[in-house]
Amino acid sequence: MISMVVVFLKERITMDDIKSRSLKLHEDNKGKISVISKVRVETKDDLALAYSPGVAEPCRMIQKNQSDIYKYTSKGNLVAVISDGSAVLGLGDIGPYAGLPVMEGKCILFKEFAGVDAFPIMLDTKDPEEIIDIVKKISISFGGINLEDITAPKCVTIERRLKKELDIPVFHDDQHGTAIVTLAALINSCRLTGRDIKKLKVVLSGTGAAGSSIARMLHNYGIITIYAYNRSGVVNQKLYNKYEFLLKELLDEDVILSNNATSLEELLVGTDVFIGVSAPGLVTKEMVQSMNKDPFIFAMANPDPEIMPEIAIEAGALIVGTGRSDYPNQINNVLAFPGLFRGALDARAKSITEEMKLEAAKAIASIIKDDELHKDYIIPSPFDKRVVEVVSQAVRHQASKEKKA
């Protein structure tokens, strides 16, 4: 595995090459998804069974018992990937038309990695109430809802409402997928170094949707000392009234601790972990050197991280992860959401709970055995076939426990 990473880094593909080849791929294929029939319609008999008059019979059965919709339709393996295009990757608010290629891409990841059928739905509205209403009205056709690339904190409000008002899993991947994989990477970093994860001092840069979810997941796992930095500066109780409701909640619940440091540079002194979901170039070599010995640096701003991996390593970082595929330790939510939905759909879970997410993180971490762990291999590859299997099994098991409870 490590040698493969090294070879890949030596043959790093240029961004210009990726851009031109990606445009050609999309143009040649007219997008990335299509609808493929599960049954043949080649004879009159085929037509009579698949459509009229035969189709009336499953309709009657579902009318008698609504849960039979899972028995006679594709609902149980179909996820809606829904976005308003307001926070697409690093592109920002590019709107629903321009956001469609990303949502198509998400759909093929569901299918290719977990065998889950998915369909992209772009909404020409940014009003939270309208989005909630639309999703509720179309939810009958789907076994799960994946919210994608919606601005914070609106995305949190939408997800929370839909989770309360729907009886199928609703998941905002930009928040929770990143958090799950971040925790998995941190678990393995501590396993490799023998450190007690609960005693780590963590600095989190970025307190939006992803950052708030990371903080909550680390706290739920037992990490007590989490400080944060955002566009307003170091998070401090004195600035409470200026913060969005998400950050207020985290302060109220002591998930994020108030700190009197006046800069990110000052905040990082004597800490063990930096986790960035913010902006490029925020962290310098000198800042890393001011941290405790052999710190962990997870700089996940895309495409340009808070600090480039080679600079962080030169400054003394022991383990470095990014959101990029051209460096080792890619902390990518594709490790989480396919298996998470696979497990939730198979279990007919009505929601994806905090406990399921924690179990998913532990499952991802468990894939790499002790004798395989290395500072450049703390997180498995998305192409490791074991990932979806292990994550889905963990989610199914947890769902079963929750049903019995």
Going from the N-terminus, what domains does the chain have, and what CATH number goes with each? 15-33+73-173 (3.40.50.10380)
Residues with a known catalytic role: 51, 106
Amino acid identity for residue 178 in this structure = T
Q: What is the DSSP annotation of 55-105? A: THHHHHHHHH-GGGHHHHSSGGGEEEEEE-SSSBTTTBS-HHHHHHHHHHH
Look at residue 66 in the predicted model and tell me its pLDDT: 96
What are the b/e assignments for 156-188, b being 16+ CB within 10 Å? bbbbebbbeebebbbbbbbbbbbbbbbbbbbbb
Look at residue 18 in the predicted model and tell me its pLDDT: 83
Structure tokens at 184: 């998995």
What is the distance between the alpha carbons of residues 133 and 342, in angstroms, rounded to a whole number? 26
What is the distance between the alpha carbons of residues 321 and 265, in angstroms, rounded to a whole number? 20
What is the distance between the alpha carbons of residues 90 and 300, in angstroms, rounded to a whole number? 11
- Cis peptide bond prior to 303, omega within 30° of 0: yes
Name the β-bridge partners of 146: 81, 171
Average pLDDT along the chain, 405 residues, taken 10 residues at a time: 40 73 94 94 95 96 97 97 92 94 96 97 98 98 97 94 97 95 98 97 95 97 97 95 94 97 98 96 97 97 92 97 92 96 97 97 97 96 95 97 89
Look at residue 13 in the predicted model and tell me its pLDDT: 60
Look at residue 15 in the predicted model and tell me its pLDDT: 72
| CA-angle at 137, arms to 133 and 139, nearest 5° | 115
